[in-house]
Amino acid sequence: MLTAPPADCTNAVDLIFVLDASGSIDSSGYEQMKVFVSQLVNKFDIESGNARVGLLTYSSTVDLRFNLNTYRSRAEVRAAISSLTYSAGRTNTAAALAHVRQVMLRQEAGDRIHVPNVVVVLTDGGSNDKLASQVSFLILLCTVLHIHLENFKRNPVVKKAYTVNYESNVHESPSGSTLLQLNY
């Protein structure tokens, strides 16, 4: 069972998921991540066009799975998420965020100028290049929710999350607090 979000989301949003598919996640953790994203997507109003969803996965390389203008229904997005395959490799978060900024947040990829962009990064923690990843977070001109998942394979708990908004204000969750309990 997913404990968040509690209600359907009907506001206009361009939502991009960035999924860590590196070796530290392992295939069972990756499958749990897919279930979480699929359940979350089911809460958004995609059919009316209020919400658009894009997704990429990353490890040593970045794999664009679909852009914001690829699918027009929850069923299509959820089917695409279900078909994702695990890749393993290193954790190149900086490259993934650069790809979001340079490729996915463009009008030709479905980004809408007057609609808020939200990027959700799901990872188990450390990038191979922490400084480059931090810089990439700060230069994304959108709201970013970076979710650091601990114990993803056993009992996933969000232990640290950052939001970065348009004014580049970074807000970190209190250290050691549980922000979201994911129950399956």
pLDDT number for residue 10: 67
**Is 98 contained in some domain?**
yes
**Is 93 contained in some domain?**
yes
Q: 74-78, 97-101, 160-164, 168-172: which has the highest mean pLDDT? A: 74-78
List pLDDT tens digits, range 124-178: 766 655 544 444 444 444 455 555 555 455 444 444 444 444 343 334 444 443 3
* C-beta contacts of 110-113 below 8 A and 24+ residues apart: 110/14, 110/52, 110/54, 110/67, 110/68, 110/69, 110/70, 111/14, 111/68, 112/12, 112/14, 112/52, 112/68
Q: Which domain holds residue 159?
A: 13-175
**Is 8 contained in some domain?**
no
**Is 166 contained in some domain?**
yes
- Give the chain's radius of gyration (CA, Å): 15
Residue 153 sits in a domain whose CATH number is: 3.40.50.410
**Is 2 contained in some domain?**
no
Q: pTM for the full model?
A: 0.75
pLDDT band at 9 (very low <50, low <70, confident <90, very high): low
**Is 7 contained in some domain?**
no
**Is 181 contained in some domain?**
no
Instruction: Report the range of poorest mean pLDDT among 15-29, 89-103, 116-130.
Output: 116-130
How does the average pLDDT of the chain come out, rounded? Answer: 74
pLDDT number for residue 63: 97
For 91-110, what is the mean pLDDT? 89
DSSP reduced 3-state for 49? coil
**Is 22 contained in some domain?**
yes
What domain count does the chain have?
Answer: 1
Tally: H helices and E strands in the chain: 4, 8
